[in-house]
Amino acid sequence: MTAPDTALGTFEEHRTILTGVAYRMLGRVADAEDVVQEAWLRWAGAERDEVRDARGYLVRITTRLAIDRLRQVRSRNEAYVGPWVPEPIATDFGATVPDTAERAVLADSVSLAVLVVLESLSPLERAVFVLREAFGFPFREIAATLDRSETAVRQLAGRARRHVDERRPRFAVDPAQRRDLTERFLAAATGGSIEQLLELLAPDVRLVGDSGGRTKGPLRVIESADKVGRFLFAVARTSVAEPELRFMEINGAPGVLILSRGRPDTVCSVEVADGRITGIYLQRNPDKLTALA
């Protein structure tokens, strides 16, 4: 086997974790792919004979590149039209993650609710949280990756964990129940009555619409069951031509991709607690739906 083939084979062996780290850091598929491509170029040009742990080395490169990219895109996100929500991805860990506990951790770390919270962390806090909570890296290894002391990394991890715990949904929900509520919610919004729709919504439900100014969508977060319900009831009947619903696992949870004339139009996902919908994400920016096409 030639040296380039060896380099590529090693890189491809670890591509999944590199992409996972980059996406959780950046919240955009294109940005994550750019970072992973740059990591490959660094790896291809490195003195690989001196690398004892290829996985650790590649994660270190990817994380540092993601931190640099995150600092660059923060200003872009701040100028974004309306609320900014991480790009939705289809997730089906399947046989690659057979263990229930590990699957739950991976699904939680890529959930929209958690990724939205991570947006409020500093780049270093976000890196520590992703490496520790999503992938279980030891503090010693994270410290080497970030060129920080282990004590400093533990402090960053503690702050990040407290911040996420304070803001993330606190209720574990059975996926079957979430899918059932999602289906009933869509049925009520598109063909039922306003009363049926309101029955499914928690009193303090929040709707976050991400259109980026590219398509129709709310430019502010909508709060309360009455306002959310009436907004959805009005737009569900007018916004999508020739709609087709495709239920799928999105960011680790049941969701629905709404196609319009065969093209991705909207991704809808919900948060659930106590048998009611507490949060709704409607993502309509076409630039963020290309990976689902």
pLDDT in tens, 82-141: 999 999 999 875 545 545 666 677 778 899 989 999 999 999 999 999 999 999 999 999
pLDDT at residue 167 in the model: 86
| 3-state secondary structure (DSSP) of residue 281 | strand
Choice between 161 and 175, residue whose per-residue pLDDT is larger: 161
Average pLDDT over residues 61-77: 90
CA separation for the pair 37, 22 (Å, rounded): 11
**pLDDT: is 237 or 141 the higher one?**
141
Task: Return mean pLDDT, the chain.
Answer: 89
Say what the pTM is.
0.88
User: What CA–CA distances, in Å, run from 272 to 162, 260, 283, 291?
Assistant: 22, 26, 18, 26
Q: Is the CB of residue 282 less than 8 Å from the CB of residue 268?
A: yes
CA 286 to CA 155: how far, in whole Å? 39
Structure tokens at 146: 């970030």
